[in-house]
Amino acid sequence: MTGFIVFAHGSRIESANQSVRDVAHRMAIAGGHLVEPSFLELGEPDLAGAAARLVARGVSRIVVIPYFLTLGTHLRRDLPKLVREAAESLGSVEIEVSLPLDGHPALLDALLDRAKDHA
């Protein structure tokens, strides 16, 4: 069974972290998936904690979806290290990372929708 982690940066503003938790929850409901939020810093759970929660729920494969727009330093340097560490600690669980949100066709629709509100 596959589980998903929505991986965000994290913020000192708890309402920003809660919005990530909310989108992960909505993803779980809309897609019928097992989904956990996680944060690089300034939020809980971290990637290892979210992965452990999914394994406890019975998953054997995890896909990390970066809740980042572009492939910057955190996704190039920090996320691969965190994924390696989580995979090592969990043993036989396969963990892979999807592309960031940049380039997804729905982003254009979201931008146009925001512009429409102010045109």
What is the CATH architecture assignment of 2-116? 3-Layer(aba) Sandwich (3.40)
Please pick, among 9, 25, 33, 104, the residue that the annotation labels catalytic. Answer: 9
Return the H-helix or E-strand segment holding 113.
Answer: helix 105-116
Residue 84 sits at φ, ψ, to 5 deg, of -60, -45
pLDDT at 117: 86
Q: Is 33 a catalytic residue?
A: no
Mind listing the pLDDT tens digit for each residue in 21-55? 999 999 999 999 999 999 999 999 999 999 999 99
Summarize the confidence of residues 68-75 as an average pLDDT.
86
Asked if residues 28 and 40 have their Cβ atoms less than 8 Å apart, the reply is no
pLDDT at 72: 82
Domains of the chain, residue spans: 2-116
* Stated pTM of the model: 0.92
pLDDT band at 106 (very low <50, low <70, confident <90, very high): very high
How far is 101 from 91, CA to CA, in rounded Å?
29
pLDDT band at 91 (very low <50, low <70, confident <90, very high): confident
Q: Is the pLDDT of residue 73 over 90?
A: no
pLDDT at 52: 96
Task: Pull the structure tokens for residue 23.
Answer: 């989108």
Q: Is the pLDDT of residue 119 over 90?
A: no
